[in-house]
Amino acid sequence: MTETIQMDSIFAFMAKDKVKETLSGPQLEAQLPLDAEILGVAIHYSALEKQAEEQAKSWLLEVDLRHLSGSKESAYLKKMGHRPLTKEDLINLVLLFGSEEQKQLVKAFEKAQIDLSARLSKTANLGLVLKQAGEKGINYNTYYNRAKTPGLWRSDEVIDVMTALERLKV
């Protein structure tokens, strides 16, 4: 005895793919000054990080434990120099004790991180740019995490990506 199974058809309507807008010609030329600005800010910010690491010892003498990340015990160990400071701790110290120029550079780098994510979202050949960025490149997982949360971009990654964009003229 043969049985036939009759299935109702299910149709799913799919939305049309949005065409990704990429930069080319005049749009790319208009973007170049912004690219140079992002690269410049990242280079200066990298120098600021090194300078802040040197000045951190004197700043740690004056800082309250509440300005250091982690538990009260962990913050105490950081203040005594028994634990390394995180990048967030260094930025907090710069914002507390740094000069006005240093504080503005921190704010400018935060804007540059957002601008870089926006710039990469409009970039054609993104895979090539990411592969060319740095010695090992930046993989897609890292890129998508950074695109979702631009504050995660590190200064060395920004420099590598912007250098690759400049070199490839994408």
Task: Name the token pair of 71.
Answer: 């538990």
Does residue 137 sit within a domain? Answer: yes
Does residue 3 sit within a domain? Answer: no
Confidence of residue 145 (pLDDT cuts 50, 70, 90): very high
CA–CA distance, 106 with 95 (Å, rounded to integer): 8
Q: Is the pLDDT of residue 24 over 70?
A: no
Q: Is the pLDDT of residue 168 over 80?
A: yes
Does residue 138 sit within a domain? Answer: yes
Does residue 10 sit within a domain? Answer: no
Query: Average pLDDT, whole number, for the chain?
Result: 85
What pLDDT is stored for residue 15 in this prediction?
53
> pTM, whole model, 2 decimals?
0.77
Q: Is the pLDDT of residue 51 over 80?
A: yes
Domain count of the fold of the chain:
1
Lowest mean pLDDT among 21-30, 83-92, 129-138: 21-30
Confidence of residue 44 (pLDDT cuts 50, 70, 90): very high
Does residue 24 sit within a domain? Answer: no
Containing domain of residue 75, as a range? 30-168
